[in-house]
Amino acid sequence: MSHPFSSTFDALQAHFTQKPDKSDTTSPHAGSTIPPPSHIQPSMGSSQIPSDAGQYRTLSTDPGYMQNAFRPLQNPGAGAFQSHLNNHVLMPRPSYPAIQPYPPWEIRPLPMTEMPSMMHQHAPAYPSVASAQGWNFSSSNAARDVPISQPQNLAGEPRSLQVNATNQEMAMEKEADPMDSATDALLERQNHLNAENPMPKLPPMRGLIRKYLRADIKPDRPRGGRGGRGAKKRGPRKAAEPTGDIKYRLNMASNAYMDGRIDEAIDFVNDAIRINAETYRAWVLLASLRQEKGDREGHFHARLFAAHLQPKIIDEWLQCAELAIALREEFPEQADEYLDNADKLYSRALRIDSKHSGARHGRAAVRFEMGHLKSAVKDYAALVEQCPFDIYAIRSYAEICVLLADTGKPRFADGPKKVIEAYRRCIAHFRENGFDIQYPFDWQDIKIFVELLAYIEQFQEAIYELKSLSRWLLTRSEETFWDSQGDDREWDEDNLRRSEVEQYQEGKHPALSYGKGLPLELRAKLAVYRLKLDQEDEAMRHLAFIDPDTFNTPELLLEHSHLMTDVGSALYEAGHLPMALRFFEPLREPDLLDTESLIRAGQCYLDAGDKRQAEECFTTAIEQDDANSEACIDARYELAKMYEAAREEREAYILVNEAIKLQEAHDQAREEARGDDEDLGEDNEEGRGSDDDTSLLETALGRVTGEEMGVNQKRAKRLLKPKGEKPKLKPRERKPRARPDPSRRRRKLFGRSEEMQLEERRRAEELSEAWKVVRDSRVSSEADATGPSNAFLSAARVLVDDFRSYKDFYSWDKYLAHLGINQAREKVEARKGNPNLLAMAERLSNNLGPEDSGADKQVKVAVSYRGVSFAEWLDLFLEYAIGLAQVGRFQEAYKVCESARDTTIFSKSKEDVFLIHITWAACALRSRDEETCVATARWLMREYQYDTDPFRMFSALSRLCPSPASWYASGPVQKYMLRQIKLMDRAITAAGAKDSEDEDGAPSSRAYPSKELDITLLMLYGHILFISNSFTYALNYFMRAYTLDPTNSMVILSVGHCYVHYALKRQAENRQFLLTQGFLFLHQYYDLKVASPDPAQRQEAHYNMARSYHAIGIPHLAVEYYQRVLRDVPDDSRNGIMGRDDLTQEAAYNLQQIYWAGGDVEAIKGIAERYLVL
């Protein structure tokens, strides 16, 4: 780079350099910055210098010799000049003798690993190389003419050199030059400019130059690792020292924080981060400020950034993960996102230390909660392998293995056995080494262990381990003689049977270590296992401790309700139904029974002959089981059998079909789950590190900058449990993907009359309250409300569901269809499933005669339902449907309209059906559902076949729906419109007296009542053909309409555009003629519109003409009409629901495009500033 003092500096350099003889001088290259050799001092790493070293003035640059740079002697009188020389290198001549450097500099040497292998035996202060000739110069690896950066001096130590007398005399001779004192300032200025504008580096050497000059100075790389003979050091670079402005802002932030100005301190820190986001101290300070301010979310994201800047500190990642878990509880709506972040943070910690148990515990718990069972089980298995007596890991390991085994997949079947072996190793460790306070082994671990044994049906082994381990915890482990007894007399409450054992010594151990020392839960397990082994006598001894008739029932219900459920189920499976009912019955009142227990209780009531209680149990099981589990199918089947026996075939048929649908849904879900492990969360641990880092930073950056990031997919939630909580080893129910819509009241057939009357009275009060809410919402609704209130929607749903549940309002087929039952399909289609359900459905279907399944029957005339007129019920249906569409629940809105249409009450009134379909179309417009809009319009055209308004309605609905015109010009619509036109044509011809025929030639009794052609129908079909690019066919119908009404501007415009578009097609034979014809009609349309007093009509004519000329590529004519659009502006105050009438912005935009093509920038700017700026 050239500087202002470059010429002066060249003159000074020439003055200071003593010219050698021409024979001994090698002319330097142009632009070279190599200093003259007279000022080069030998390196100080040698012990001697030859006496004739001063006669050699220059060094040669012949290939084959190394570049050698000599460190000059520090001269106090020529410091500026010396500084210049220190930054350049010289090339040696091959005829020079070896020069030995002076003693080394007093600076820190480079490590041996950074030197070439040839220099490992010589370790001077700086890396040196020796050429093949044996030279020992202090050399550099830099290319020729490239400045060499000098090492900085050690902090606090002055730079000093040891020199000999000869060098001092040479320096004194140099100081005698009178030019030194006069040029020091200029040299200092030149050095200063060089420091500010350093010379650019030369490109790397290639080819022969690289081969000869740098072949033998390649540094050695360590062997091994990836990349053959050693790879480069990997990992993040060391963070740069914060600059002064960053330190200043951080200090100002600290001062502001000390003064209590937290917001100002945050601004200072954000400013520092803006300068350099890799400042660790800034992120830590920001995290502290956010925490002080109470912004826990901002605190977490700042800590997350700080952790990325210190990636090898494991505590940073662990603390961030704990913060993410805490935020998950504080922000439940973002729980999935924070759980995902915690998972990634724990993974980062494990990448640093794969043996860190805390990080692996945390990740396993997070993945367990996220539903990633297979990933979690791997982590827990690793924890158990790492520490066999980690009881917390074993407990969670047991729960996950049971859950995976419940999926029914063969590869997870051995999971419980692995946990059993882990428990055995843990127990053996504690028996040998004693208990560990950090990993307490207590009664719940015995319970889990024996439940695992019972899970694999090893009941005898479970009894043995339960007794042995309980004896161990009660400090009686030496009494192994109890294991030889075939009963459980060891745990009797009295000593009657224990005294019969010879080895038993009464009083040796406390009495509480025998009978009453066994926890009640383990005693219940003993009773259940004895029942499984058909040892009823021994089981009854244990059941006496939890008999609800003997002991305090409220205490049992409060603390041990699950024990009563387990014992009742065991008694039910053993066939002791009356005794099982004794345990089930106390649990019904506080609703402590699950679905399966309710079904068993109902079967116990059936066995006792109490059908009313059985019906109550089955109905409650169906209503409370939201998951529609296998037990819910059994409840419907049992209830259907009761109704079939009571000759209620309709209710039985509905129930059995619901059960069949649920069974099919379960089978489908089970088949899909066989090859789909996504819900079990099998994560790919390999190669997800970089993705985790990127997603973590993106999430944190989005929160820090205020940007909302996308929400991940929903996952199954499960609360994190503390380490000591008891896992529940019960199978989880898998929710099916399909379920029937049981939005109907289930009438109880076996209930008492007074109970049924009480239930009906309560139901009437609920509906009356719902009507009050609906009517109040109608009165209090505001004009500017964006949608219905939640109270209105809830009350309306209750009322509509009650109306739909009344079977007499629907035909039998329609009622079944609303329940999702297709009777014809059920009879014909062969299905696989429960043979009992299929046999019952077939039997009930045959028993339902034609008069029951939809034949005409006498209908009672009714004018109201529950004291409300049917007209108000219809208004409620329509208001509820529109309200659902306004809140985005479009499918539910369609269902409501369909339910209103199918009722026998509303379907008899043509006006009511018309209102229902208009509401249906409105909901379809709200959802932008063009298919439903067209279907509704076609119904209107079919019902009001020979009217003009249905065709206009079809066009309006298709126009208002903001979607492509695919359904408007679909094949069925074209065929239907053509049939209507043919029907109309036949009606006004001589053949109209005969029966008209449809398109397929089938005879039809329909006759067109009018004797005139319908222009609307002709134009509608013409536009359908026009959209399909069938311009020649469309022109035929447009001309027929033009013949009927030659002054209609819409017809004229359509004809003109049809000619113009046909002229632009490739198949046009006479394009000029077609364009002339088209613009003839367009100008006729323009004359009609311009004569209108309405400015909106005139502006429309200007715009259509401009757009037509613009389309065929005549911009100079289009500009004239676009300018007329800008001049003839209508009043915006008349804008209605169809939008604004002003076309100014459209015309201005098109005009701007024309100006842009012509290069008129000023006109573009003027148009944009006047018309296109919002």
DSSP assignment of 1022-1089 equals: HHHHHHTT-HHHHHHHHHHHHHH-TT-HHHHHHHHHHHHHHHTSTT-S-HHHHHHHHHHHHHHHHHHH
Residues 168 and 316 both lie in one domain: no
Rounded-to-integer distance, Cα 640 and Cα 655, Å: 6
Q: Across the chain, what does the average pLDDT equal?
A: 74
Rounded-to-integer distance, Cα 105 and Cα 150, Å: 12
827 or 948: which carries more pLDDT confidence?
A: 948
What is the three-class DSSP state of 234? coil
Distances in Å between the alpha carbon of 385 and those of 327, 378, 393, 421, 721?
Answer: 32, 10, 10, 11, 22
Give the residue-averaged pLDDT of 931-959: 86
**Per-residue confidence (pLDDT) for residue 967, from 0 to 100:** 76
Please report which confidence band the pLDDT of residue 82 belongs to, taking 50, 70 and 90 as the band edges: very low
What percent of the chain is modeled with pLDDT above 70?
65
Helices (H), 781-905: 790-804, 812-818, 823-828, 835-847, 870-886, 890-902
Helices (H), 17-89: 79-85
Residues 324 and 392 both lie in one domain: yes
As a whole number of Å, the end-to-end CA separation of the chain is 51
**Per-residue confidence (pLDDT) for residue 51, from 0 to 100:** 41
User: Per-residue pLDDT tens for 178-193?
Assistant: 434 344 454 565 566 6
What is the pTM assigned to this prediction? Answer: 0.58
856 or 305: which carries more pLDDT confidence?
A: 305
E strand residue ranges, 492-632: none
Rounded-to-integer distance, Cα 339 and Cα 368, Å: 10
Of 985, 1003, 1020, which residue is a domain's last? Answer: 985
489 in a structural domain: no
Distances in Å between the alpha carbon of 483 and those of 466, 478, 501, 508, 1045?
Answer: 11, 11, 12, 18, 108
Q: In one letter, which amino acid is 31? A: G
- How many domains does the chain contain in total? 4
Please report which confidence band the pLDDT of residue 590 belongs to, taking 50, 70 and 90 as the band edges: low
Please report which confidence band the pLDDT of residue 368 belongs to, taking 50, 70 and 90 as the band edges: very high
589 in a structural domain: no
672 in a structural domain: no
Rounded-to-integer distance, Cα 401 and Cα 413, Å: 9
User: Per-residue pLDDT tens for 303-356?
Assistant: 999 999 989 999 999 999 999 999 988 888 888 999 999 999 999 999 999 999
508 or 963: which carries more pLDDT confidence?
A: 508
Residue recorded with tokens 């090859």: 675
Tokens linked to 681: 């969360």
**Per-residue confidence (pLDDT) for residue 1046, from 0 to 100:** 92
Residues 1048 and 943 both lie in one domain: no
Please report which confidence band the pLDDT of residue 1132 belongs to, taking 50, 70 and 90 as the band edges: low
Are the C-beta atoms of 900 and 871 separated by less than 8 Å? no
**Per-residue confidence (pLDDT) for residue 661, from 0 to 100:** 80
Give the residue-averaged pLDDT of 256-265: 92
User: Per-residue pLDDT tens for 195-223?
Assistant: 665 655 545 555 544 544 444 444 445 45
Are the C-beta atoms of 1068 and 1097 separated by less than 8 Å? no
Burial level of 909, CB count in 10 A (0-12/13-18/19+)? middle
Residue 1035: count other Cβ atoms within 10 Å of its Cβ: 22
- Alpha-carbon Rg for the chain, nearest whole angstrom, is 47
Give the residue-averaged pLDDT of 87-106: 40
Q: In one letter, which amino acid is 131? A: S
What percent of the chain is modeled with pLDDT above 90?
33
Are the C-beta atoms of 1008 and 984 separated by less than 8 Å? yes
Which residues sit opposite 864 in a β-bridge?
869
Residues 196 and 276 both lie in one domain: no
**Per-residue confidence (pLDDT) for residue 948, from 0 to 100:** 86
Tokens linked to 326: 């805490």
Please report which confidence band the pLDDT of residue 173 belongs to, taking 50, 70 and 90 as the band edges: very low
958 or 90: which carries more pLDDT confidence?
A: 958
Rounded-to-integer distance, Cα 1114 and Cα 1123, Å: 15
831 or 778: which carries more pLDDT confidence?
A: 778
User: Per-residue pLDDT tens for 989-1023?
Assistant: 754 545 444 444 444 445 555 557 888 999 999 99
User: Per-residue pLDDT tens for 741-755?
Assistant: 444 455 666 765 666
Residues 816 and 943 both lie in one domain: yes
Please report which confidence band the pLDDT of residue 625 belongs to, taking 50, 70 and 90 as the band edges: confident
**Dihedral Cα 1084, 1086, 1090, 1092, nearest 10 deg:** 70
**Per-residue confidence (pLDDT) for residue 1090, from 0 to 100:** 93
**Per-residue confidence (pLDDT) for residue 1007, from 0 to 100:** 55
**Per-residue confidence (pLDDT) for residue 1173, from 0 to 100:** 84
374 in a structural domain: yes
**Per-residue confidence (pLDDT) for residue 396, from 0 to 100:** 95
**Per-residue confidence (pLDDT) for residue 670, from 0 to 100:** 72
**Per-residue confidence (pLDDT) for residue 908, from 0 to 100:** 83
Widest Cα–Cα separation across the chain: 138
* Polymer length of the chain: 1174
Q: What residues have CB less than 8 Å from 442, skipping those under 6 apart? A: 473
Angle at 297 between CA 292 and CA 300, to 5 degrees: 85
**Per-residue confidence (pLDDT) for residue 859, from 0 to 100:** 46
Please report which confidence band the pLDDT of residue 68 belongs to, taking 50, 70 and 90 as the band edges: very low
What is the three-class DSSP state of 923? helix
User: Per-residue pLDDT tens for 24-58?
Assistant: 444 444 443 334 433 434 333 333 334 443 433 33
Residues 831 and 980 both lie in one domain: yes
| Best CA proximity match to 774, nearest among 630, 666, 877 | 877
Rounded-to-integer distance, Cα 672 and Cα 686, Å: 27
Among 430-434, 509-513, 640-644, 701-705, which stretch is predicted with the lowest mean pLDDT? 701-705
Are the C-beta atoms of 756 and 645 separated by less than 8 Å? no
Which residues sit opposite 865 in a β-bridge?
868
698 in a structural domain: no
DSSP structure class, residue 109: P
Rounded-to-integer distance, Cα 60 and Cα 27, Å: 10
Residues 216 and 273 both lie in one domain: no
Q: Kindly provide the b/e burial profile for residues 59-94, where b requires at least 16 CB atoms within 10 angstroms of the residue's own CB.
A: bebeeebbbbbbbbbbbebbebbbbbbbbbbbbbbe
Residue 1136 phi/psi, 5-degree rounding, is -115, -155
Tokens linked to 960: 């208002």
Rounded-to-integer distance, Cα 476 and Cα 491, Å: 13
Q: Kindly provide the b/e burial profile for residues 1137-1153, where b requires at least 16 CB atoms within 10 angstroms of the residue's own CB.
A: eeeebbbbeebbebbbe
771 in a structural domain: yes
Residues 1051 and 926 both lie in one domain: no
Domain with 176 in it: 1-153+160-221
| Best CA proximity match to 1057, nearest among 1066, 1049, 1047 | 1049
Are the C-beta atoms of 995 and 1005 separated by less than 8 Å? yes
Residues 791 and 935 both lie in one domain: yes
**Per-residue confidence (pLDDT) for residue 850, from 0 to 100:** 46
Is pLDDT of 62 > 60? no
Q: What residues have CB less than 8 Å from 240, skipping those under 6 apart? A: 276, 278
Helices (H) and strands (E) in the chain, counts: 46, 2
E strand residue ranges, 702-759: none
Q: What residues have CB less than 8 Å from 486, skipping those under 6 apart? A: none
What is the three-class DSSP state of 569? helix
Residues 283 and 432 both lie in one domain: yes
**Can you spell out the DSSP letters for 190-211?**
HHHHHHHSPPPPPPPP-HHHHH
Distance of CA 992 to the CA centre of its chain: 65
Residue 160 phi/psi, 5-degree rounding, is -140, 145
Is pLDDT of 722 > 50? no
Give the residue-averaged pLDDT of 425-429: 94
Rounded-to-integer distance, Cα 282 and Cα 257, Å: 13
User: Per-residue pLDDT tens for 763-775?
Assistant: 888 888 989 988 8
1073 in a structural domain: yes
Tokens linked to 559: 């603390």
Residues 210 and 249 both lie in one domain: no
What is the three-class DSSP state of 869? strand
| Best CA proximity match to 1027, nearest among 1067, 1081, 980, 967 | 967
Of 428, 461, 494, which residue is a domain's last? Answer: 461
716 in a structural domain: no
Are the C-beta atoms of 44 and 101 separated by less than 8 Å? yes
Of 392, 426, 461, which residue is a domain's last? Answer: 461
Rounded-to-integer distance, Cα 625 and Cα 662, Å: 12
Residue recorded with tokens 């009480």: 758
User: Per-residue pLDDT tens for 1030-1073?
Assistant: 999 999 999 999 999 999 999 999 999 999 999 999 888 899 99
Residue recorded with tokens 């005969």: 994
User: Per-residue pLDDT tens for 463-518?
Assistant: 999 999 999 999 998 988 998 888 889 998 888 888 888 888 888 888 888 888 89
978 or 77: which carries more pLDDT confidence?
A: 978
Residues 248 and 217 both lie in one domain: no
Residue 167 phi/psi, 5-degree rounding, is -65, -35
**CATH number assigned to the domain comprising residue 1061:** 1.25.40.10
Is pLDDT of 719 > 70? no
**Per-residue confidence (pLDDT) for residue 307, from 0 to 100:** 93
Are the C-beta atoms of 392 and 370 separated by less than 8 Å? no
